[in-house]
C-alpha cells in the first residue's frame, strides 16, 4: 500500500516524464512540419484525421481544435474506414494518420487504400522505422522515451505528445491564417466562451432603462430613481452631460455623515467622474473594469452620450464566468 508521500511522488514523476517528452518535440520540428502546415494552408479540401484506440481519441480532439480555429477537419476511425468510411475522403483532402507504433494491424490494412486515393498522407507516429512512417509523405515524429504507465504499456506519455503535436499544428495554422478572436467567436456561439467573444455591453444595458436625475434633484426623488430601476444606482446628468453617479453606497455614506438629509441635493452626494464604458464594448471587458475598480456598476455611453447602466449581476446572469 502506497502512502501519501509515495502517491504525490508518483504524480510528480508522471508530470515530469510527460513534460520532458513534450519539450523534446521542439527538437523534432523539421522541414516536414513546415511542409505539412503549408500543404494544409493550400488545401481546397479538408483535413481527414484517422487513428485506432487511444490515438483515435486524440485524433478527435485534434479535429475539434482544427475546426474551431479555421481548418475544416473530419475524424475517420481507422477500423470503420476499411468497412465503408473511406467514402469520406475527397480528392482535395489531406490525410493525417496517428499511431504510436505505426504497425498496428488496422493501420497496416488501411494505408494501402489511402495510398490508392492519391491524397497527401501525413504520419503522426512514434516510430520512424514503422510501416506507417515508411508509407507517409510527411512524418511528424512523436517518439517518446517511455510511457508514464509503470508497466510502460498504457498510452499516457505517447497520447500527451500526440496531442501536443496537434496543438502545434493548429496554432501555426491559426496564426498563419490570421484567425482573429472575432473569427473564433463565429465557431463558438454557445456557452460562456462564446458569450465572452460576442456579448456586448449594450446587449445588457439596453434592457435596464435609463435611471437619471438632475443635480438639483432632492434625495427622496434620487432614492425613488435608484429603487425603480433596481440597478443600485442612478446617473446625475444635465443637458446630456454626465456629471456623476449615485449608488447605494453613496446613500449609506450620506446617512452616516448627515443627521438631516432633507436639504441635500443629488449634486451633494454624487460621485463625480464615474467609470464609463461604450455600449459596443464586450461585456467581459466591463466585468474586468468592475473588478479592477471594485465597483458593481458602469455607466454605459454611446459615442460619449449616456446610454444606460450595466450591473455586475447582468453579466453574472449570462454565465460569462
Dump pLDDT digits (tens) for 277-308: 999 998 889 989 999 999 999 999 999 899 99
At residue 185, the pLDDT reads 59
- Cα–Cα dist 205/280, whole Å: 11
Phi and psi at 4, nearest 5°, equal -60, -35
Q: How many domains does the chain have?
A: 2
User: Containing domain of residue 155, as a range?
Assistant: 4-179
Structure pTM? Answer: 0.67
127 and 54 within one domain: yes
Same domain, 68 and 158: yes
Cα–Cα distance, 95 to 74 (Å, whole number): 10
Residue 37 sits in the same domain as residue 123 = yes
Q: How many CB atoms lie under 10 A from the CB of residue 191?
A: 10
Give the CATH number of the domain where residue 51 resides.
3.40.50.10490
Characterize the bridge pairing of strands 297-302 and 120-125. unpaired
Do 168 and 280 lie in one domain? The reply is no
Residue 186 lies in a domain: no
Digit-by-digit pLDDT tens for the chain (321 residues) are 557 778 899 999 999 999 999 999 999 999 999 999 999 999 999 999 999 999 999 999 999 999 988 899 999 999 888 787 888 899 999 999 999 999 999 999 999 988 888 899 999 999 999 999 999 999 999 999 999 999 999 999 999 999 999 999 999 999 998 876 666 656 655 555 556 667 889 999 998 999 999 999 999 999 999 999 999 999 999 998 999 999 999 999 999 999 888 899 999 999 999 999 999 998 889 989 999 999 999 999 999 899 999 999 988 888 776
Q: Report yes or no on 191 lying in a domain.
A: no
Does 196 fall in a domain?
no
Identify the pLDDT of residue 317.
85
Domain closes at, from 123, 144, 179: 179
Residues 227, 110 share a domain: no
Amino acid at each position: 500500500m502506497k502512502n501519501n508521500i509515495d502517491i504525490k511522488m508518483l504524480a510528480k514523476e508522471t508530470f515530469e516524464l510527460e513534460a520532458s517528452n513534450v519539450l523534446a518535440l521542439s527538437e523534432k520540428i523539421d522541414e516536414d512540419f513546415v511542409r505539412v502546415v503549408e500543404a494544409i494552408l493550400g488545401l481546397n479540401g479538408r483535413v481527414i484525421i484517422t487513428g485506432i484506440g487511444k490515438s483515435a481519441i486524440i485524433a478527435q480532439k485534434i479535429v475539434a481544435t482544427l475546426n474551431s480555429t479555421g481548418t475544416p477537419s473530419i475524424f475517420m476511425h481507422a477500423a470503420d474506414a476499411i468497412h465503408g468510411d473511406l467514402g469520406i475522403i475527397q480528392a482535395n483532402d489531406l490525410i493525417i494518420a496517428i499511431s504510436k507504433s505505426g504497425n498496428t494491424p488496422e493501420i497496416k490494412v488501411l494505408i494501402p487504400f489511402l495510398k490508392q486515393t492519391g491524397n497527401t498522407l501525413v504520419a503522426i507516429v512514434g516510430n520512424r522505422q514503422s510501416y506507417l512512417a515508411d508509407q507517409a509523405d510527411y512524418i511528424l515524429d512523436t517518439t517518446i522515451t517511455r510511457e508514464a504507465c509503470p508497466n510502460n504499456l498504457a498510452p499516457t506519455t505517447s497520447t500527451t505528445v500526440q496531442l501536443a503535436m496537434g496543438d502545434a499544428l493548429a496554432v501555426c495554422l491559426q496564426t498563419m491564417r490570421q484567425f482573429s478572436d472575432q473569427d473564433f467567436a463565429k465557431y463558438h456561439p454557445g456557452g460562456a466562451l462564446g458569450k465572452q467573444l460576442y456579448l456586448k455591453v449594450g446587449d445588457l444595458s439596453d434592457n435596464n432603462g435609463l435611471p437619471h436625475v438632475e443635480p438639483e434633484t432632492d434625495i427622496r426623488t434620487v432614492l425613488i430613481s435608484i429603487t425603480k430601476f433596481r440597478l443600485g444606482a442612478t446617473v446625475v446628468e444635465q443637458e446630456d452631460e454626465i456629471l456623476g453617479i449615485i449608488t447605494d453606497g453613496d446613500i449609506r455614506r450620506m446617512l452616516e455623515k448627515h443627521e438631516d438629509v432633507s436639504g441635500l441635493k443629488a449634486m451633494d452626494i454624487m460621485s463625480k467622474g464615474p467609470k464609463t464604458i461604450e455600449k459596443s464594448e464586450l461585456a467581459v471587458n466591463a466585468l474586468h473594469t468592475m473588478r479592477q475598480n471594485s465597483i458593481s456598476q458602469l455607466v454605459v455611453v454611446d459615442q460619449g452620450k449616456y446610454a444606460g447602466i450595466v450591473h455586475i449581476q447582468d453579466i453574472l446572469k449570462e454565465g460569462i464566468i
